[in-house]
Chain A
Amino acid sequence: MIPENAVCVRPEGFTETPTHYCPGCTHGVAHRLVAEVLQEMNVLDKTIGVAPVGCSVFAYNYFDTDFVEAPHGRAPAMATGIKRVLPDRIVFTYQGDGDLASIGMGEIVHAAARGENLTVIFVNNANFGMTGGQMAPTTLPGMKTTSSQNGRDVETQGYPIKMAEMLATLDGVGFCARRSLHDAKNIRLAKKAIRLAFETQARGLGFAMVELLSTCPTNWGMTPVNSLKFVEEHMVPAYPLGDYKISEAIKQIKI
């Protein structure tokens, strides 16, 4: 029984398993938003999630839905396989930036180009978290990581990849947006975008992705508060927030 005066309760979409994420990491926030949206849409029963390889490799432990665990980067392909044989289910992938923008670039681009009716939650924290903070395709220029110890040198290590902008160019995409998780206002906006991304799928309007700018206090070597500030001051300018593609039918949806 939930007490009447409860301010915050565990969403129905969550299991009772405590997460393994570091203190201050925004993966937990992203998870919660997804669970709340699935609950609000009343689709937990018919949802199948696809977990990636990376920090969120154990995502399947936390959601009270069916879940599979994909090889590194291949979540969109696995999700395609599931959705094509079970088109009436809700299928989503939850992927980090190493998984989606590095090793899984082929799979994500082609799932989007085919217009697969999938929802992709893309967590961009500018580094490979699970393996200990190496440079990711999304690492900011000059940013120090364990594999760019003098700061990412764009001359030799290339430039960050802006996934939301890139995928928005594809005709198969119904909804593509970037949000940030660094404060309450932005978290509310993120939740709306996640809802739209799942509504896109539920209506069969094509591929949907929400890129979420996230913190990694452990690997960034910052306090949780400072890491939120880092997102606001450095990540947001490099990765502007907004809707990069929103089909006409999605614009009509009132949440």
Chain B
Amino acid sequence: MPKELWKGNEAIAEAAVRAGLEAYFGYPITPQTEILEYLSRRMPELGRAFVQAESELGAINMVYGAACTGVRVMSSSSSPGVSLMMEGISYIAGTEVPAVLVNVMRGGPGLGNIAPAQADYNQAVHGGGHGDYQPIVLAPASVQEAIDLMVLSFDLAEKYRSVCMMILDGCVGQMMEPAQMPEMRPVHRENWDWATNGKMGKRERRILSSIYIEPAEEEKMNLRLLNRWQTIQANEVRYKEYFLDDAEIVIVGFGTAGRVALSAVREARAEGIKVGLLRPVTVSPFPSEVIEQLAGRVDAFLVTEMNSGQMLEDVRLAVKGRVPVEFYGRLGGMVPFPDEILNEIHRMAKSKMAVNANPRDAWLARMATA
């Protein structure tokens, strides 16, 4: 299939269709509305379900209902809307049904703005809904990657009966890039042994619920989720490496912050500075192992994010204090330019932060004196 110029949001929508999406439920919110608009046209054309819900609460619970029947279903939203969906996401996790979500993140907290941000990392990766569960979270940095990960999201969600969320910032959603679509997969309804799709004279009744009224039973369920999470951690970590072979400084950044860092890394390399980039593609499960290995042979890390240092804590956990982990972030919908990161590389090439210093404090102190 030849490459076409696709806008991120529309590419995501078409990729989902080609992955066998049978139902989409959503609510308009910038900067992801093109997903809803595209599917409002595309899904009925294919005889598949599309509903513009009354709210994100409505949308996520329509997803929940359809997910219980075992079909491929998704919703998409942007930060404030995803906050509203958190109730349903927790229920979906607690019911162990597969569901796919897309968060095209914008500046926050609160109403914030509509500019690109990565400030929902913690909500997606570490929290969000109530209770003990771990979602799979993918973070594409380009339109092609968004397409590929959209398809993967459905496969992973089904494989692990899990919530799979793709987080991208408004840049990736709004940008156009040449990209290749996958072949259209036929809609395929697996004969899941858990789906509530009617007995139809073939089996005993099934119940899907997130209720475990006996704490001992709930604990068993929590452990089952945790065991499944260990399998996911062992098998599903994905990341991209750039110039890591001889790197002395390693930048870690996901999504747009990661690709902006790539520009800075190239410029620094041209100057002879041995710097590389690790771009996590799965931010949950997090590529802790590769960072831990790198920590044994590099001089320092620089984490770049479009937030106040959320993934930073995961990098620090993996590095375990062996080398300095520094931080550079832009907040509130600001996107860093490569020269900002290049300045950090220049600074670190001369002198690094003490290994026991707090990277966020050091970054804020640098900002204050700049």
Contacts and interface: CB of A to CB of B under 8 A. Distances in A.
User: Does chain A touch chain B in the assembled complex, meaning CB atoms less than 8 Å apart?
Assistant: yes
A12 interface: no
A81 B61 contact: yes
A86 B64 CA distance: 14
A45 B65 CA distance: 18
A94 B68 CA distance: 17
Contacts of B198: 45-48, 65-66, 86, 89
B205 A67 contact: yes
B206 A78 contact: no
Interface in B224-279: none
B54 interface: yes
B53 interface: yes
A232 interface: no
Interface in A96-132: 106-107, 109-110, 114
Nearest to A116: B51
Interface string A47-72: 11011000001001101111111110
Contacts of B25: 80-81
A114 B63 CA distance: 17
Contact of A77 (B53, B196, B205): B53
Which 6 residue pairs of A and B lie closest in terms of their CB atoms, listed nearest first?
A: A81-B65, A78-B65, A77-B61, A69-B209, A110-B54, A81-B62
9 contacts: A46-B198, A67-B207, A68-B64, A74-B64, A78-B61, A80-B25, A81-B64, A81-B65, A85-B22
B67 interface: yes
A234 interface: no
B91 A66 contact: no
Of B51, B62, B66, B88, most buried by chain A (CB within 10 Å of CB) is B62
Contacts of B201: 45
Contacts of B87: 71
A51 B208 CA distance: 10
A45 B200 contact: yes
Given A45-B199, A67-B196, A71-B88, A81 B205 contact: no
A80 B23 CA distance: 11
B51 A48 contact: no
B358 interface: no
B210 interface: yes
A89 B196 CA distance: 11
Interface string B189-224: 000000011111100011111110000000000000
Contact of A50 (B57, B65, B199, B206): B65
A117 B196 CA distance: 18
Chain B contact-residue range equals: 35 or more
A10 interface: no
Contact of A48 (B49, B55, B95, B196): B196
B88 A68 contact: no
B207 A69 contact: yes
A78 B64 contact: yes
A107 B61 contact: yes
B58 interface: yes
Contacts of B105: none
A107 B201 CA distance: 31
A65 B205 contact: yes
A81 B57 contact: no
B71 interface: yes
Contacts of B102: none
A170 B25 CA distance: 22
A194 B198 CA distance: 20
Nearest to A103: B57
B351 to A, nearest CB: 53
A44 interface: yes
Given A60-B207, A78-B62, A84 B51 contact: yes
Of A45, A67, A86, A107, most buried by chain B (CB within 10 Å of CB) is A86
Given A74-B88, A78-B65, A65 B58 contact: no
B207 A46 contact: no
Given A44-B199, A48-B198, A71-B87, A77 B58 contact: yes
A79 interface: yes
B199 A81 contact: no
